[in-house]
A and B are shown apart, each in its own frame.
Chain A
């Protein structure tokens, strides 16, 4: 990416932060808080998610069979099924149905698939007026804007901006101000369209192949009216919406509202098995004829859209996208999305983390290239997703494919020597620089302090910003001349003999702990030894987190291979692996599943521990807390790490700090905004700081000690607060 395009991107993000950020933030955070509250009410949340996932896995596996089955059942019920290969095919069919019905107007309920098709443009071109009846979609139609969210498409608009829009467009007798009046105005206006429309169009959240029944999850009642009032109902849905039977709807009914907008259930869950038995309603020509004597005939068309989905089904990496139920949990739980919204974090149609899968599957990887980097791989969405899709992995895969397809950057030779990766030359220079941080760190330590002085000099920072988009407003990591591994060797190895030790552990000297934040590594060694652990600190290659997050999967895979070769024999020999950096532990436990043979991944994952998790375990098994430093009631502001949280490890740190006598306040902000290299990138620096602002606000009001588990979080907190930030292990290790 060139400096200019980085600047343009930064400017666009800044504009969205200013104009849409506040509305998006308050709405998504509200949805996300509601999700936590309402899923907690389920008797068996995890089991329900597993059931939902199993239904989707089975349905996508048997998709061609279900398509045939639904065709038969819908036709036997008296409807028509059309399988559309692509958007143009679907639009042609829909406009033909409208022409057959002589429809001037089509009333539509909300359907992201219809957005994907751009059916409104096709209808307009055919002389048919499409009217969106979902209030948010209608507002966007009036404003001529694109949806910014899967479920609440106008989430970026405040009440004031909607009032300005409607007052300006329709000039009502009395100015509209309150949400109540705006709603009433829209309802009355839209009713005039609904009562005389020739065709009603809806989407479908799920379709049961066995009976041709569609489940629609709504709240306003417009989908009910759109399907009921016009005699002709056209439902548009992606083929992936098929499930075997109505009983399969059940887990989704329990999950979809909770996962999305944080509601246990929405107002209406409609189960349509069209043509429905409800009497037809002719408001235009038979308004005074009783329902029992209405003479219209109901007609139903189900348009099942392929548009790339059947190819996605054959793509082992993108296939999981088809399990998506478009609940928006991945967007609402994402710190970047919460701040900048779907107009930045989204493609032509789809928004949020899963949008990368949808856009790449439908339009090719390029369709996801503009926003794919906004996924930082923090993994919070994985736990939020009701069908447990590994959304960060999909983002990584697409990033990798984009890297492979990209042209070599003009400045590539400048970093070639520093970036001995296993990925092809097309990788963007910025990504290669961050992806090869291990090599930089080795050089940095070897030549410190000169490297630090050089790196902080103005010409170098300017060059780094110009060539690699490393933002000059960030301090670069300062490399320690003596690495953790060298320090350990110089002190003569472990001070607890293996024979007399309670346990044996390898402290994993990740790149940062080994070269930059060495104090937390030394503290780890001292704390473990104080609790009777024989420690080793061998030189082990980096986990591959850095290249992985840049979408350099081959390089990450090679790292995983080398790490496993080095640590595997030690694990076999009875050593535990203690990991300081949460994102590296997440590599071992989560990402390596995709990069290593199952037995190697299992062995490493099973024997790896986050450092405070390990200390907690030692204390639980008779370790003497008195051997650690006494906090003596000192206050600590503690910020956990995204991956540490999604792996359920935050509690160990809080508990150990408490046991050592510290008075701990944990951040209720989930993400610091730094996310590895993300906050260093000049195009994302301002977004990163905007996300970090929430954390600053929580901790700025006191003068407590500040601790954070992740390197990025430490760096971000140092930029946000005028206080020093340490790793919790440094607080409890004997000096």
Chain B
């Protein structure tokens, strides 16, 4: 079943103009290294065995570094398979700005955290809000606008979204 959900999730991402890849945790660092070919900022990844230490990314960036970054790497708390959404927690580490300012957002999510639908997602969110007064954003694809007379990706937020699914987490 997890594979089926992953496959549905990836189809939904593609339908919302986002790209995706599936890797084992041990290969994450190499997969990211290939992708990040410019200044990058990140928040720590909470997945066992997943490390950003060997990568040219800035953890705990300054506002200036946020502004200059081309890539932002964050974890997703969970994902919604049928919408192709990632749920990003507004945490003290700065997942909100790191996912929002750079031109490309790379979200990393554990395969076991892919929820089938919005109903399941809202149940989880309801719990997080009740217990921790959490804030989060359900992000689906790149930021977009049609206000200037045509559909444009990359309005005030990222122009590209890539999601890495950790198949063993």
Contact = CB atoms under 8 A, between A and B. Distances in A.
B34 interface: no
Contacts of B148: 135, 139, 159, 162, 179, 182-183, 186
Contact of A220 (B64, B133, B144): B144
B118 interface: yes
A271 B125 contact: yes
B30 interface: no
Contact of B94 (A139, A264, A273, A291): A291
B31 interface: no
Interface string A251-279: 00110000000001111111111101111
Question: How many B residues are at the interface, by size bracket?
Answer: 35 or more
B169 to A, nearest CB: 24
A157 B97 CA distance: 32
A294 B158 CA distance: 24
Given A250-B119, A278-B90, A278-B91, A220 B62 contact: no
A282 B133 contact: no
B129 to A, nearest CB: 5
B157 A268 contact: yes
A283 B125 CA distance: 31
A276 B64 contact: no
A159 B136 CA distance: 34
Nearest to A219: B144
B143 A219 contact: yes
B8 interface: no
Interface stretch (A98-106, A222-230, A484-492, A529-537): A222-230
B120 to A, nearest CB: 10
Contacts of B144: 219-220, 267
Interface in B130-169: 130, 133-152, 154-158
Contacts of B158: 221
Interface in B36-53: none
A270 B67 CA distance: 22
Given A219-B144, A219-B145, A290-B62, A267 B133 contact: no
A153 to B, nearest CB: 9
Contact of B122 (A220, A246, A278, A286): A246
A211 B133 contact: yes
Nearest to B12: A264
Contact of B83 (A77, A179, A265): A265
Interface string A139-175: 1000000000000101001111011000000000000
B122 A225 contact: no
A159 B150 contact: yes
A136 B150 CA distance: 12
Nearest to B122: A250
B90 A268 contact: no
Contacts of B129: 208, 211, 213, 246, 271, 273
Interface string B14-45: 00100000000000000000000000000000
B96 interface: yes
B147 A152 contact: yes
Contact of A158 (B130, B149, B154): B149
A159 B147 CA distance: 9
A77 B135 CA distance: 12
B140 A266 contact: yes
B9 to A, nearest CB: 14
Contacts of A163: 149
Given A211-B129, A291-B61, A269 B137 contact: yes
A254 B85 CA distance: 13
A265 B85 contact: yes
B94 A154 contact: no
A158 B136 CA distance: 35
A271 B96 contact: no
Contacts of B146: 152
Contact of A277 (B63, B135, B155): B135
B3 interface: no
B149 A179 contact: yes
A457 interface: no
A247 interface: yes
A155 to B, nearest CB: 9
Contact of A273 (B67, B133, B143, B154): B133
A625 B96 CA distance: 67
A331 to B, nearest CB: 16
A287 B141 CA distance: 29
A500 interface: no
B35 to A, nearest CB: 21
Contacts of A213: 129, 135
A538 B26 CA distance: 84
Ranked nearest first, the 6 interchain pairs of A and B with the lowest CB-CB distance are A159-B149, A221-B157, A179-B150, A220-B155, A221-B156, A135-B147
15 contacts: A77-B133, A183-B154, A187-B154, A210-B130, A213-B129, A219-B143, A246-B125, A247-B123, A265-B138, A268-B139, A269-B138, A270-B138, A271-B135, A290-B61, A291-B94
Given A221-B156, A288-B64, 4 more contacts: A183-B147, A221-B143, A221-B157, A273-B133
